[in-house]
């Protein structure tokens, strides 16, 4: 019990569980039902741990750079997948030709 505010203090175990579940990507509702604390308390713990999106304090340019990097990576893997599909199609065509189909 916090003597100044008269509220119950969050135990270290509960705090650790909230951080663990937040890192695992659980929703606020899942964390709240599991740990039995309020959503504002969860948000406060996530912010203190640097897990809240707003706690990262990213500028618009940083967010844009991250987004563009992610788009480039997606485009790269799309190209690689298309190349792999073409290679497989060529192999299938060669196998059919060998078998006389």
**Does 63 lie in the same domain as 33?**
no
Domain that holds residue 4: 1-57
Residue of higher predicted confidence among 2 and 40: 40
pLDDT at res. 84: 97
Phi-psi region of 50 (alpha: psi -120 to 50; beta: other; left: phi over 0): left
What's the total number of domains in the chain? 2
**CATH of residue 33:** 1.10.10
Does the pLDDT of residue 11 top 90, yes or no? no
| Sign of the Cα pseudo-torsion (91, 95, 98, 101, in order) | negative
7 touches 13 (CB < 8 A): no
Is 12 in the same domain as 30?
yes
For the entire predicted model, the pTM comes to 0.44
Residue 44 sits in the same domain as residue 87:
no
- Same structural domain for residues 84 and 52? no
Same domain, 52 and 83: no
Tell me which residue of 24, 23, 21 sits closest to 32, measured CA to CA: 21
Same domain, 70 and 48: no
Residue 15 reports pLDDT greater than 70: yes
Quick: pLDDT tens for 27-83: 888 888 888 888 888 888 888 877 766 555 667 788 888 889 999 999 999 999 999
């Amino acid at each position: 019990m916090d003597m100044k505010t008269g509220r119950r203090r969050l135990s270290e175990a509960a705090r650790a569980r909230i951080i663990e579940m937040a890192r695992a990507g659980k929703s606020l509702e899942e964390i709240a039902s599991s740990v039995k604390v309020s959503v504002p308390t969860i948000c406060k713990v996530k912010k203190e741990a640097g897990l809240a999106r707003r706690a990262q304090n990213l500028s618009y340019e940083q967010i844009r750079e991250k987004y563009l990097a992610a788009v480039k990576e997606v485009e790269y893997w799309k190209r690689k997948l298309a190349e792999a599909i073409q290679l497989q199609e060529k192999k299938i065509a060669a196998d059919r030709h060998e078998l006389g189909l």
